[in-house]
Amino acid sequence: MNLKDQEKVEALVSEMMQSNIDLDLYLYNIWISSRWSQGSIEKMEEAFEKLIFDESVNLNWTTHSTMATLYIKNSRFDKAEDCLRNIETLITGRDRIPYHYLLSHYGIIGKKEEVKRIWESYKTIFPYIPNLGYSAVISSFIRMDDIEEAELLYEEWVSMKTSYDP
């Protein structure tokens, strides 16, 4: 895929399937991205459907994030938002990273209320907010051209941190 030889990706995936070699989550994500880079949302969705029905793979939030990113690049914000909602249902444990992606993606598609909702949820779940959390939410508001909200969050960040790199 890095060599931009998407036909080779298709051939390898096809060969693996014909040889009954299971694809793992990593390979599915490559295949999905490869199909998108060929310019086919339909083929990308087809690969995603195969993943969903593949019982040997434990689907997690990362693939939905990949799908959201690809939909955003195609200005399919409605489908991206569906993927983001799915991410929320798949977050397990105390992993902060999915929240950073959610903040960023909702910011890119201009969903200010969703950014606020995710941020409040994040602060409730995690009493300590690392620099990356503040960076993600501030960047989202800047993307949405809400400088006032970004400045308020920056001031909150500065007041809460004893060490940071502004």
Indicate whether 155 belongs to any domain.
yes
Residues 5 and 55 in one domain: yes
Output the pTM of the full model: 0.87
Residues in the chain, overall count? 166
Structural domain including 7 reads 1-59
Indicate whether 117 belongs to any domain.
yes
Residues 3 and 55 in one domain: yes
Question: What is the structure's pLDDT at 159?
Answer: 86
Residues 11 and 49 in one domain: yes
Tens-digit pLDDT string for the chain (166 aa): 777 788 888 899 999 999 999 999 999 999 999 999 988 899 999 999 999 999 999 888 999 999 999 999 999 999 999 999 999 999 987 899 999 999 999 999 999 999 999 999 999 999 888 889 999 999 999 999 999 999 999 999 988 766 655 5
List pLDDT tens digits, range 147-165.
999 999 999 998 876 665 5
Indicate whether 75 belongs to any domain.
no
Indicate whether 94 belongs to any domain.
yes
Residues 98 and 152 in one domain: yes
Final residue before a domain boundary, out of 11, 44, 59: 59
Residues 51 and 95 in one domain: no
Residues 41 and 110 in one domain: no
Question: What is the structure's pLDDT at 79?
Answer: 97
Indicate whether 73 belongs to any domain.
no
Residues 33 and 90 in one domain: no
Number of domains in the chain: 2
Residues 88 and 162 in one domain: yes
Reduced to 3 states (helix: H, G, I; strand: E, B; else coil), residue 142 is: helix
Closest among 157, 75, 146, 90 to 115, alpha carbons compared: 146
- 140 to 59, 81, 131: CA distances (angstroms): 27, 15, 14
Per DSSP, the residues of 35-68 read HHHTT-HHHHHHHHHHHHH-TTS---HHHHHHHH
Cβ atoms of 156 and 135 within 8 Å: the answer is: no
Name the average pLDDT for the chain.
92
